[in-house]
Chain A
Amino acid sequence: DADVTQTPRNRITKTGKRIMLECSQTKGHDRMYWYRQDPGLGLRLIYYSFDVKDINKGEISDGYSVSRQAQAKFSLSLESAIPNQTALYFCATSDPSGINTDTQYFGPGTRLTVL
């Protein structure tokens, strides 16, 4: 089984709808991240969480919210989706201990289309 899973893998929704993207991990990592990727723009950080009570905005948090329900689960919500939120969304995890600190491990991604 994959260490980092994302659901759904694909989603088409309409403008104004609320949508939640979910991320679960079995790696036991404390740190989790949400990114979006648009063609030619690389990965941009939306939110990140270093533990259940430590949640931080990234560079493009407007229009998004998150919930860290447990160490293993980190959800991203679009309260009122708009077409320019159409993108590929990735969840990632990292472990601050050991020699591979900062290394991030990515889930398979969710392709979101807002019509």
Chain B
Amino acid sequence: QKEVEQNSGPLSVPEGAIASLNCTYSDRGSQSFFWYRQYSGKSPELIMSIYSNGDKEDGRFTAQLNKASQYVSLLIRDSQPSDSATYLCAVRGSGRRALTFGSGTRLQVQP
């Protein structure tokens, strides 16, 4: 079992819809959770960080963390074609000194 798992996609949504991206992790004691966006050939850029159970909202983005079920999700409201990218989930496991990244979900927003 991979430490951090994401569906590779592509996830295709129409413009204006809500995109829902999911990530599961194997280490129940994981501490920190991140979503990064990466455009093709570019470096990852931080979208959201979340550290405690529940929802965290920032503009059109909402991160949801459920430690009991070991998943973290990212919702993108009013999706725009410019949101088309690969979204990477990253987790710091218990006793780990660095992040572990999932392989990413490719999102396509259709105009």
Contact B8 A102 (CB under 8 A): no
Report the number of A-B residue pairs with Cβ-Cβ less than 8 Å. 52
Contact B101 A58 (CB under 8 A): no
Contact A103 B104 (CB under 8 A): no
A50 and B97 alpha carbons, distance in the complex (Å): 9
Do most interface residues of chain A lie in helix, strand or loop, or is the interface mixed? strand
Do most interface residues of chain B lie in helix, strand or loop, or is the interface mixed? loop
Contact A42 B43 (CB under 8 A): no
Number of residues on chain A facing chain B (CB within 8 A): 25
Chain A residues proximal to chain B, CB less than 8 Å? 33, 35, 40-45, 48, 50, 56, 58, 88, 90, 100-109, 111
Chain B residues proximal to chain A, CB less than 8 Å? 8, 31-32, 34, 41-46, 49, 88, 90, 92, 97-104
